[in-house]
């Protein structure tokens, strides 16, 4: 059996994290380990994790760091370093999972490839109602989708056909519905921990994966997730982050000097 680590990144959204963890424990196939990667030191997150630890025998690890700017790349690397599973699945702490999400990622896992799934966006009103309710299921037929309802439609027979296509494009890259073998991740030395602020840290990582001969497989109509509404993130550092991405592409970089290897050395 393929061992899997589900890595959930979170920042100051305890109500959303609680819904996400409910959807994780409702999976048809549970991950081998759950890693909550928090870019903060919130007592509320600790309480939520303790609550769910009491409900499952699946290990729930809590990796966290002091919030000092938007350091998503760094906390992801810390989570990868802590993971013991063969296969890594990444989601955000405001993305609720359809019950076959983990099973779908396991089904389509392939060495030398990563999986990129889609997300169905919920509008503000739907999100607020959902967070206040006891419900954890979301249907294609529900009201409240923000223009991309088709991403809430699960059609595995179509997925089986579309998944055969391989590409090395950067369009549509998001690390909130994303998975790959840990060995492939380490080949590129993980994310570049020097990224600060929202944007392009995932694309830069993927560009290095491509330079190492890794390909993308897009999951359509499987591995469904529902993204809860939130205010847009600050784009303050976007220009600087785009410059880092451009350098990686132009120089065909295969690794980073600020990745998992350096993090491990500094932790020893």
**Secondary structure of 94-118 as H, E, C letters:** CEEECCCHHHHHHHHCCCCEEEECC
- Average pLDDT of the chain to the nearest whole number: 95
Q: What is the pLDDT of residues 88-122, one digit of tens each?
A: 999 999 999 999 999 999 999 999 999 999 999 99
% of the chain residues with pLDDT over 90: 89
More confident residue, 268 or 131: 131
Q: What is the pLDDT of residues 35-46, one digit of tens each?
A: 999 999 999 999
pLDDT for 79 equals 98
Q: What is the pLDDT of residues 217-265, one digit of tens each?
A: 999 999 999 999 988 877 788 999 999 999 999 999 999 999 999 999 9
Backbone angles phi, psi at 179, to 5 degrees: -155, 155
% of the chain residues with pLDDT over 70: 100
Question: What is the distance between the terminal CA atoms of the chain, rounded to a whole angstrom?
Answer: 31
Cβ count within 10 A of residue 83: 23
Query: Per-residue confidence at 1, pLDDT binned at 50, 70, 90?
Result: confident
Query: Per-residue confidence at 32, pLDDT binned at 50, 70, 90?
Result: very high
Structural domains of the chain sorted by starting position, each given as residue range(s) with its CATH number in brackets: 4-267 (3.90.550.10)
Return the structure tokens found at 176: 């909130």
Mean pLDDT of 76-80: 98
pLDDT at 69 over 90: no
pLDDT at 165 over 80: yes
pLDDT at 135 over 90: no
pLDDT for 232 equals 82
Distances in Å between the alpha carbon of 137 and those of 61, 75, 95, 153, 224?
A: 25, 29, 12, 13, 12
Mean pLDDT of 194-198: 92
3-class DSSP string for the chain:
CCCEEEEEEECCCHHHHHHHHHHHHCCCCCCCEEEEEECCCCHHHHHHHHHHHCCCCCCEEEEECCCCCCCHHHHHHHHHHHCCCCEEEEEECCEEECCCHHHHHHHHCCCCEEEECCCEEECHHHHHHHHHCCCCCCCCCCCCECCCHHHHCCCHHHHHHHCCCCECCCCCCCCCEEEEEHHHHHHCCCCCCCCCCCCCHHHHHHHHHHHCCCEEEECCCCCCEEECCCCCCCCCCHHHHHHHHHHHHHHCCCCCCCCHHHHHHHHC
Mean pLDDT of 35-64: 97
Among the listed residues 13, 50, 24, 65, the one whose alpha carbon sits nearest the alpha carbon of residue 196? 65
Burial zone of 81 (CB within 10 Å; 0-12 exposed, 13-18 middle, 19+ buried):
middle
Among the listed residues 154, 142, 166, the one whose alpha carbon sits nearest the alpha carbon of residue 220? 154
Return the structure tokens found at 181: 């073998």
Q: Which of 51-65, 95-109, 192-206, 229-243 has the lowest mean pLDDT?
A: 229-243
> Could you tell me the pTM of the whole model?
0.96
Whole-angstrom distance, CA of residue 210 vs CA of residue 187: 11
Among all chains, which residue has been given the structure tokens 């020097």?
194
């Amino acid at each position: 059996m393929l061992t899997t680590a589900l890595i959930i990144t979170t920042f100051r959204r305890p109500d959303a994290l609680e819904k996400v963890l409910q959807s994780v424990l409702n999976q048809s196939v549970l991950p081998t380990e759950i890693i909550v990667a928090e870019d903060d030191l919130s007592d509320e997150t600790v309480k939520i994790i303790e609550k769910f630890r009491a409900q499952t025998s699946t290990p729930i690890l809590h990796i966290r760091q002091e919030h000092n700017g938007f350091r998503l790349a760094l906390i992801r690397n810390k989570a990868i370093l802590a993971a013991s599973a063969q296969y890594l699945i990444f989601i955000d702490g405001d993305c609720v999972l359809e019950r076959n999400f983990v099973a779908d990622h396991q089904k389509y896992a392939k060495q030398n490839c990563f999986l990129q799934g889609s997300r169905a966006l919920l509008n503000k009103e739907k999100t607020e109602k959902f967070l206040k309710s006891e419900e954890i299921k979301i249907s294609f037929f529900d009201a409240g989708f923000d223009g991309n309802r088709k991403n809430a439609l699960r059609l595995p027979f179509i997925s089986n056909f579309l998944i055969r296509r391989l590409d090395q494009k950067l369009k549509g890259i998001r690390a909130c519905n994303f998975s790959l073998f840990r060995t492939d991740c380490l080949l590129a030395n993980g994310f570049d921990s020097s990224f600060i602020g929202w944007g392009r840290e995932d694309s830069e990582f993927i560009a290095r994966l491509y330079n190492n001969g890794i390909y993308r497989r897009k999951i359509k109509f499987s591995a469904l997730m529902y993204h809860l509404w939130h205010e847009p993130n600050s784009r303050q550092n976007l220009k600087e982050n785009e410059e880092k991405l451009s350098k990686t592409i132009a120089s065909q970089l295969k690794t980073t000097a600020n990745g998992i290897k350096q993090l491990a050395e500094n932790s020893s």
